[in-house]
Amino acid sequence: MQTVTSLDLKTITSEEPLSVCFVCLGNICRSPTAEGVFQHIVNKNGFSSLVEVDSAGTAAYHAGEPANSKSRMIADQNGVTLNSKARKFEYSDLEYFDLVIAMDKENHRDLLRLDRKGLFRDKIFLLRDFDPMPGDGEVPDPYYGGINGFELVYEIVLRSCESLLDTVRPHLKNNS
Ligand code: 4NP
């Protein structure tokens, strides 16, 4: 059961393109996959001028690095190119983005902690809040495991991002 509906997206008010930032720990596996997959789906639906997509990590361990080679390989096999360079998520990102979407509950907690005055709570979600099959609510960290974990991440991210676009579609400025 999908838990977020378009009515829950109260923070989407500006006339600018809808801005979405996906967040994981290192910004080299899960959130770059979500960024690339969501951008691909947005483009395929003709919404590229209406949606801005980015990703970042709660930690800076891998800042400046491209996405993990296994993440890139699986995305490539599915016609999706991952172009991101890892960067740390900053307070200014909470101010800037309309939606900030965490991959797991620890990332989600770290984002809520960064939002020390509680100003941005309504724009912080878990990606699997949008998943029609949300499981335990998390996109599992594949970093220390084998290729199967990366394949599972891709599958979860694809399904969740398709549903995310359906959810935000009524909020796009020109959704004809
Ligand atoms: P990500 O995966 O959060 O999906 O990018 C990880 C990348 C690096 C580390 C952990 C998770 N690390 O511990 O360096």
| Mean local confidence (pLDDT), 76-81 | 98
Q: What are phi and psi of 99, to 5 degrees?
A: -130, 130
The answer to whether residue 6 sits within a structural domain is no
Q: What is the total count of domains within the chain?
A: 1
Domain presence at residue 5: no
Q: Give the 3-state secondary structure of 130-161.
A: CCCCCCCCCCCCCCCCCHHHHHHHHHHHHHHH
Q: How far apart are CA 97 and CA 134, in angstroms?
A: 24
Q: Residue 92: its pLDDT value, please?
A: 98
**Domain-located, residue 94:** yes
Indicate yes or no: pTM above 0.85: yes
Q: What value does the mean pLDDT take over residues 91-114? A: 98
> Is the CB of 84 within 6 Å of ligand 1?
no
Mean of pLDDT over the chain: 94
Asked whether residue 107 carries a pLDDT value surpassing 80, the answer given is yes
pLDDT tier at 2, thresholds 50, 70, 90: low
In a domain, 53, yes or no: yes
Long-range Cβ contact pairs of 4-11 (< 8 A, separation 24 or more) = 4/125, 4/129, 4/130, 4/167, 5/167, 6/167, 6/168, 6/169, 6/170, 6/171, 9/98, 9/99, 9/167, 9/168, 9/171, 10/122, 11/98, 11/99, 11/120, 11/122, 11/123
- Give the whole-number percent of the chain exceeding pLDDT 90: 88
Q: Does residue 8 belong to any structural domain of this protein?
A: no
Cα 164 to ligand 1 centroid, rounded to whole Å: 23
Q: Give, in degrees to the nearest 5, the angle at Cα 124 between 53 and 76.
A: 35
The answer to whether residue 176 sits within a structural domain is: no
pLDDT digits (tens, 9 = 90+) for 8-66: 787 776 678 999 999 999 999 999 999 999 999 999 999 999 999 999 999 999 999 99
What is residue 61's three-state secondary structure? coil
Does the annotation count 30 as an active-site position? Answer: yes
- Report the pLDDT value the prediction gives residue 164, as an integer from 0 to 100: 97
Domain span at residue 91? 22-171
Residue 88 lies in a domain: yes
Residue 144 phi/psi, 5° resolution? -95, 5
User: Any catalytic annotation for residue 24?
Assistant: yes
| Residue 9: predicted pLDDT | 81
- R_g (Cα) of the chain, nearest Å: 15
In short, whether 134's Cβ falls inside 6 Å of ligand 1 is no
pLDDT band of 5, cuts 50, 70, 90: confident
- CATH number (domain holding residue 110): 3.40.50.2300
Instruction: Kindly state if the Cβ of 139 falls inside 6 Å of ligand 1.
Output: no
37: in domain: yes
E-only strand ranges, the chain: 18-24, 51-57, 99-102, 124-126
- Cα angle value 69/128/111 (rounded, 5°): 80
Mean per-residue pLDDT for 114-120? 97
- Lowest-confidence segment of 54-58, 73-77, 167-171 by average pLDDT: 167-171
Q: φ, ψ for residue 20 (rounded to 5)?
A: -130, 130
Q: Give the model's pLDDT for residue 8.
A: 76
